[in-house]
């Protein structure tokens, strides 16, 4: 049952405090999840305030549809669709990246190497290829590239070769436990306390859901939809995501000089970096999954 898997929202109060600057504003929760941030945002809005949420996961959309609040609406889309909103119409955008606890803890979703389940990992189970489908035919070189680039796995080529050998000998991998056991046999050294399959599972999830590409699109779209002084709040859970966010904010927090026209006036900066926040010791102790979270906050300048 859905209620079996609970989700604890990370940096809940910090994110909403940074995001909501006007109670009558128009806000976006671009990753609804199980609605922790959305519900607190709604509690901060007056009757004129509005909140639009996005989520690719049909289970998350079902939870959102149960919110009977005329100020709230949910869109069954990934956050790359943020750019479909009207230019300059949004007071604040929140991106809470990564995977929710119900997705990880439900074996049927195939995200976790700790529980046996189908090797799926799709955020949106209504479309796209599962990890099992992709691994059944992907060339060794492509598998190695994905595992190396998205998982930062030193033994990516060895893992890819082991997957290829397995599918030739016994057929394609079908379950999370089969993949986890194969990786454990292949990756001989690992950081203390980390399962050998951690990096491979992360890489395949990011790849199959095009997470980093979507993040880039959503960040660019935020510049389009945010009104002057509108806030961009992003919570990342691993270095690949956070690096993209950090570099994006840094790039747009300075005047842009066109090297092809050195005497032209520089284009004014589009963002102002405000703060970087990590969970408190108390939050990490209460919710260990929050330990890697980094929240970055930026504000749209007056120049659109």
Q: What is the CATH number of the domain that holds 67?
A: 3.40.50.150
Q: How far apart are CA 47 and CA 30, in angstroms?
A: 21
Q: How far apart are CA 96 and CA 87, in angstroms?
A: 22
The answer to whether residues 97 and 131 belong to one domain is no
Q: Structure pTM?
A: 0.89
Domain harbouring 147, CATH code: 1.10.150.170
The answer to whether residues 141 and 203 belong to one domain is yes
Task: Pick the last residue of a domain from 208, 230, 258.
Answer: 208
- Cα dihedral 78, 83, 89, 91, rounded to 10, equals 50
* Six token digits for residue 158: 């060895």
For residue 77, CA distances in Å to 32, 81, 156, 240, 301 come to 11, 7, 32, 23, 28
How does pLDDT run along the chain (304 residues), one tens digit per residue? 344 456 678 999 999 999 999 999 999 999 998 899 999 999 999 999 999 999 999 999 999 999 999 999 999 999 989 999 999 999 999 999 977 766 776 777 877 777 789 999 998 988 899 999 999 999 999 999 999 999 999 999 999 999 999 999 999 999 999 999 999 999 987 777 788 999 999 999 999 999 999 999 999 999 999 999 999 999 999 999 999 999 999 999 986 655 665 655 556 789 999 999 999 999 999 988 889 999 999 999 986 5
For a pLDDT cut of 70, what percent of the chain falls above it? 92
CB atoms within 10 A of CB 89: 15
Number of domains the chain is built from = 2
* Six token digits for residue 81: 């669709």
Which pLDDT belongs to residue 259?
A: 61
Does residue 34 belong to any structural domain of this protein?
Answer: yes
Task: Pick the last residue of a domain from 174, 208, 242.
Answer: 208
The answer to whether residues 195 and 242 belong to one domain is no
What's the per-residue H, E or C state across the chain? CHHHCCCCCCCHHHHHHHHCCCCCCEEEECCCCCCHHHHHHHHHCCCCCEEEEECCCHHHHHHHHCCCCCCEEEECCCHHHHHHCCCCCEEEEEEECCCCHHHHHCHHHCCCCCCCCECCCCCCCCCCCCHHHHHHHCCHHHHHHHHHHHHCCCCHHHHHHHHHHHHHHHCCCCEHHHHHHHHHHHCCCCCCCCCCCHHHHHHHHHHHCCHHHHHHHHHHHHHHHEEEEEEEEEEECCHHHHHHHHHHHHHHCCCECCCCCCCCCCECCCEEEEEEECCCHHHHHHCHHHCCCEEEEEEECCCC
Range of the domain at 158: 125-208
CB atoms within 10 A of CB 21: 15
Please, are residues 229 and 298 in contact by the beta-carbon 8 Å criterion? no
Q: How far apart are CA 55 and CA 82, in angstroms?
A: 11
Q: How far apart are CA 156 and CA 110, in angstroms?
A: 20
Task: Pick the last residue of a domain from 168, 189, 208.
Answer: 208
């Amino acid at each position: 049952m859905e209620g079996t898997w609970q989700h604890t929202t990370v940096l809940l109060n910090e994110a909403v405090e940074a995001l909501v600057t006007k109670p009558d504003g128009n806000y976006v929760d671009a990753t609804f999840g199980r609605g922790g941030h959305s519900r607190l945002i709604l509690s901060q809005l007056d009757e004129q305030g509005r909140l639009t949420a996005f989520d690719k996961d049909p289970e998350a959309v079902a939870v959102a549809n149960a919110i009977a609040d005329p100020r709230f609406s949910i869109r069954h889309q990934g956050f790359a669709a943020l750019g479909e909103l009207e230019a300059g119409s949004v007071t604040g955008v929140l991106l809470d990246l990564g995977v929710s606890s119900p997705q990880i803890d439900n074996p049927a979703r195939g995200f976790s190497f700790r529980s046996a389940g189908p090797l799926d990992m799709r955020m949106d189970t209504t479309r796209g290829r599962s990890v099992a489908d992709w691994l059944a035919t992907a060339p060794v070189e492509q598998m190695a590239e994905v595992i190396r680039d998205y998982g930062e796995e030193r033994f990516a080529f060895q893992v890819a070769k082991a997957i290829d050998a397995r599918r030739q000998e016994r057929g394609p991998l079908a379950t999370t436990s089969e993949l986890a056991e194969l990786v454990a046999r292949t990756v001989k050294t690992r950081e203390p306390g980390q399962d050998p399959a951690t990096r491979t599972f992360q890489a395949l999830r990011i790849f199959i859901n095009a997470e980093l590409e979507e993040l880039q699109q959503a960040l660019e779209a935020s510049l389009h939809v945010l009104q002057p002084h509108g806030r961009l709040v992003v919570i990342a859970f691993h270095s690949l995501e956070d690096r993209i966010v950090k570099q994006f904010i840094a790039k747009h927090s300075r005047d842009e000089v066109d090297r092809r026209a050195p005497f032209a006036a520089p284009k004014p900066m589009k963002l102002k970096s405000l703060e970087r926040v990590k969970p408190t010791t108390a939050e990490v102790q209460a919710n260990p999954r929050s330990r890697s979270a980094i929240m970055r906050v930026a504000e749209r300048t007056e120049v659109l």
